[in-house]
Amino acid sequence: MCFGAKFSFENLGGLFTYLTLPTFIFFFSFFFFPFRYNGFAQDISPAQLKKMIEERKEGKTNFILIDVRTKEEFESGYIPGTDLNISHDEIGEKIEKLNIKKDDTIVLYCRSGRRSEIAKQELIKRGYKKVINAGGIKQWVESGFELKK
């Protein structure tokens, strides 16, 4: 029976001489998988974004809200207060042509949060320091908030 099989980890310098299969699975489940990339990561909730937009209208905060979906998706509806529509695969080149400073706060969203995370990583790679992934427009609508057309 394989369940009780023992594995030898002699190359670990004796740290774990023998490790049973259940322990092996436990180790990788709790210590390896949480550090894997999550393409649907989201830094703020739709309610937090709504509050930020309202506070910006009142002059309490300042940020640039960018929809990183395609032009066609943007034209079907977008979050009120959106400043720009730049596709996630073009954001690196296009944002550097705009007058956006490296320490300006940039908030990104797409349909589900995946493309806005890709765009976030691209902007961070280019030196932008305050980049927030607001997730997807789907979560915005599911939270009961309106879209603008």
* Contact status, residue 7 vs residue 19, Cβ threshold 8 Å: yes
* Contact status, residue 102 vs residue 80, Cβ threshold 8 Å: no
Tokens at 121, concatenated: 């990583």
Residue 110 bears catalytic tag: yes
Q: Which of 110, 131, 132, 134 is catalytic?
A: 110
Cα separation, 14 vs 146, in Å, equals: 60
Q: 6-8 and 18-20: which strand pairing?
A: antiparallel
Report the catalytic residues: 110
